[in-house]
Chains A and B, each alone.
Chain A
C-alpha cells in the first residue's frame, strides 16, 4: 500500500492564482481531512470528509474548497491564492475503530509546501 500520497511536494504561486492540491489514499478509509501547519502554531483543520459525497468545514475553511467524489481522492482547491495561505498542507485519512471507546486511527501524508508570493 502507498498509504496517503500528496502532490505536488512543493508549489510556488502568485497572488490570485488558483490551484488544486491532490490527495489520494489506497486504504479504503472513510474519513479524509486537510490540515495546514504554520510556524509556531499547531496543525489546523481546513475541511474534512466522512465519506464520498460528504464534506464539512473545519477550523479554517475560508479560501479553500473541497469535494469527495470517490473514497480514494480528496482534492483541496485554492480559488484565489493569498500570501496568508503560505503554509505546509497535510492530508490525512482515517478509519473508525470498533468497541466502546472507538476513535479515528489517522494516517498523514508527506505534505505539500506552498508559497504564495
Chain B
C-alpha cells in the first residue's frame, strides 16, 4: 500500500529558530516529492519540491533533505517567522500517468514571536 507518514503532528518554534518536519514513505513507486503550505481556509500552496535523484534542494529559507535508501525526506525552515505559521503537508507523486499525489497527515507549525 502506498503511504506517506508525517511527523510531528504539531510543532512550536520560537522566531528565528529552525523548524523541521519529517516524512517517510513505504513504496518506491514515487518520482517526485513536493511540500505544500496551507493557511486556514485556503488551498495548499506549492512550497518546494525534490526528485529522488537529488539529496538536497534549497530555496531561500526552505530546504528539503532526501534520503532515498531510508525512504525519508524532511523540510527545514531556517529563521522561522510568525508568518510561517501554517499547516505543512509532504506529498509523494505516484509514478504513473495520473500524477496522483499521496499526502502526509500534515504538521501544524506555530512560530512564536
- Whether both chains belong to one complex is answered with no
Give chain A's interface residues, CB within 8 Å of chain B: none
